[in-house]
Amino acid sequence: EDKVVQSPLSLVVHEGDTVTLNCSYEVTNFRSLLWYKQEKKAPTFLFMLTSSGIEKKSGRLSSILDKKELFSILNITATQTGDSAVYLCAVEGLNGGATNKLIFGTGTLLAVQP
Amino acid sequence: NAGVTQTPKFQVLKTGQSMTLQCAQDMNHEYMSWYRQDPGMGLRLIHYSVGAGITDQGEVPNGYNVSRSTTEDFPLRLLSAAPSQTSVYFCASSYFPAGRPQQTQYFGPGTRLLVL
């Protein structure tokens, strides 16, 4: 059965700390791994990763994929209170039908304290 | 561009009632989908559509119907609401390049549904 597991479930840090969020997966016919940030409402897209070892970076956020060990990490440096959110990991796999499947993890709740 | 819009934002239903959750997008996206989000369960796909007139079931379709008469609209119908359908519902849309709609999916703001 396909699954995506995120850890930790929740995390409380202070402003300025660096955090690492983890996502491991078992999804048949892997195509890509996506990270989303969900604040109070809709998830917003952060990164899509398809190749091992190539870091994607956007400001203080970065992510990397290891397709051999089946995991990805999302790093946030110099955290700010605005980084407080649920971070979702999703893995896209071939489905053999009209569209690919997308399996979501349960998310990591990050709280950044001033 | 309004992006993806959903109505209502919040709804309370009694068991057995029916209702329709509305979803619309103005980005001319071919692919649209409905997810539900429950604590400890992540986002789960209910139904999806790859274009007007085409719909298919996702991971948890039971109790829900959809239709796609236009590119813009993708309503989700609950025919007989049950407490197990209490959840937050998200509609999403994306382009559909070569069968890979999940890239940069745009999510609506969500509808919070409570079934008593």
One digit per residue, the tens of pLDDT, for chain B of length 116 reads 779 999 999 999 999 999 999 999 999 988 899 999 998 788 999 999 988 999 988 889 999 999 999 999 999 999 999 999 999 999 999 876 655 555 668 899 999 999 99
CB contact under 8 A, A48 and B50: no
Q: Which sign, positive or negative, has the C-alpha torsion B47, B49, B52, B53?
A: negative
Which of A16, A28, A20 minimizes the C-alpha distance to A93? A28
Distance from CA of B80 to the nearest CA of A (A): 26
**What pLDDT score was predicted for residue B102?**
53
Q: What is the pLDDT of residues A49-105, one digit of tens each?
A: 988 888 999 999 999 999 999 999 999 999 999 999 999 999 988 766 656 778 899
Contact status of B103 with chain A (Cβ, < 8 Å) = yes
Contact status of A81 with chain B (Cβ, < 8 Å) = no
**What pLDDT score was predicted for residue A62?**
97
For residue A19, give Cα distances in angstroms to A69, A108, B45, B113. 21, 11, 29, 33
Contact status of A41 with chain B (Cβ, < 8 Å) = yes
Counting one residue from chain A and one from chain B, the pairs whose CB atoms sit within 8 A come to 59
Distance from CA of A31 to the nearest CA of B (A): 9
C-alpha gyration radius of chain A: 14
